[in-house]
Amino acid sequence: MNPFDSYQTRSGERRLGDLLKQRAAGEGQYIFVGVAEDIGVRANLGRAGAASSPAAILEALAKLPLNPWSESLDLGWIWVDVADLQVASQAHSGPEGLPALRELVAQVDARVEAAVQPLFAAGKIPILLGGGHNNAYPLLKAAAVRQPMNALNLDPHPDCRALEGRHSGNGFSYAHAAGYLNRYCVLGLSEHGCNEASWEMIQSTPGWTALSYESWAIRGEMDFTTARNLALQHVQASKFGMEVCADGIVGCPSSAQTELGWTWEQVAESVYLAGQSGQAAYLHLAEIALGLCPEERRAAVAKAAAWTAMQFIRGCESPME
C-alpha cells in the first residue's frame, strides 16, 4: 500500500506529497512508518481510536509545502500492513478478550520488527506513526542488533507493566527483559499515573530513572527545560529511541487523554534536541487517537503531529557541535 496514492497535486504548488508519491517504499533516509492499529491499547484495557491516525498524519504531511526548508530533506515511507490483525481484533473485547488481543499484539510486534529492521541495518532513521505504545518493543528489538538501546520516553506513564502478554503498557519491561533496553528515562512521569510495581521497577533497575511532571509543574523543583536536559544527558551517551506518548500532550486525543501536561511546541522542541544529539536512532509518536477526536479538530491534530516529526528530522540535520 502506498499511503500517498490518494494525494492530489495542487496546481501551481509543490508539496511534500508530490515528492513522497513518487518514492518507492523504503527509499530515503528519514522513513515515515505507518502502523494503523489500536490492538495494543485495547489489550491494555484502553480505548480504541489510534488506528486511524497514521493515514491522517501522512495526509497532513503530504500537504506541507516543498520549500528551501524541506526540499533538501531525504524523506521516505513504508506502510506496515496489520489490517487483517486489526480486523481480527474486533472479535475480542473486555477482560475475557485480553488473551486473544495480546496474542494479536505479538503478531503486530513481529510485523513491525520485520519492517523496520532493514531500515536500521541500512543506517536509516524511522519515524513511527502509531498506533499504540506497544510498538516501542519491536522498534527497540530491531534497533538493538549490536548492543542494547537506551530510550527517552516523554510520557506520564512508564509503560513497564508486568510481563503478562503483550500490550501498550509493557513495551519497555518486555524490551528490558529480552536484553534490548539498557538506560531508560521517563520524562514527565505522573506521580498519580504510575502503579506501585512499575515504580518499584524504575527504582530497582540499574540505569533507569524518571523525572516527574509534578516536580516542575507543581512544586517548582526544576523547570521543564532542566528536566529535559537531564533526561537527554541520561540517554545520549549511546544510541537511543525518542519516544513520545500522546497521553501527556494537553488536549491531544488519546486513550488516556489529559488536560495536564505539555504542549505540542514543547514536544517539538524536545524531539528537535533529541535529533540534534546525533544519537537518536528513531522517533516514535504513539497513542494519538484521532478516532476519539471531534471531526473539526482532526486535521489540526494531524498537522501538529506531522510538524513535530519534521522538527525531529530538522534536528537530525543540524547536529550540535
Tens of pLDDT along 45-63?
Answer: 999 999 999 999 999 999 9
Q: Which helix (H) or strand (E) holds 58?
A: helix 53-62
110 with 42: CB under 8 angstroms? no
Residue 73 in contact with residue 31, Cβ under 8 Å? no
Residues 314, 320, 321, CA angle at the centre, nearest 5°? 140
pLDDT confidence bin for 1, thresholds 50/70/90: confident
* pLDDT beyond 80 at 321: no
- Cell matching residue 191: 506521580
Which 8-state DSSP code applies to residue 187? E
d(CA 159, CA 163) in angstroms, rounded, equals 11
State phi, psi for 76 to the nearest 5 degrees.
-155, -170
pLDDT band with cut points at 50, 70 and 90 for residue 178: very high
pLDDT at 232: 98
Confidence bin at 225 (pLDDT 50/70/90): very high
Does the 16-147+243-316 domain belong in CATH 3.40.800.10?
A: yes
Q: Which residues contact 191 (CB under 8 A, 6 or more apart)?
A: 212, 213, 214
Domains of the chain, by residue range, sit at 16-147+243-316
Mean pLDDT of all residues belonging to the chain: 96
Q: Could you tell me the three cell numbers for 29?
A: 533516509
Question: For residue 222, is pLDDT > 90?
Answer: yes
DSSP string, 6-55: T--PPTT--BHHHHHTTSPTT-SSEEEEEE---HHHHTTT-----TTHHH
CA distances from 136 to 14, 62, 267, 300 (A): 34, 25, 18, 25
Task: Read off the pLDDT of residues 266-301 as tens digits, 9 standing for 90 and up.
Answer: 999 999 999 999 999 999 999 999 999 999 999 999
| Interacting residues of 148 by C-beta distance below 8 A, sequence separation 6+ | 179, 180, 181, 182
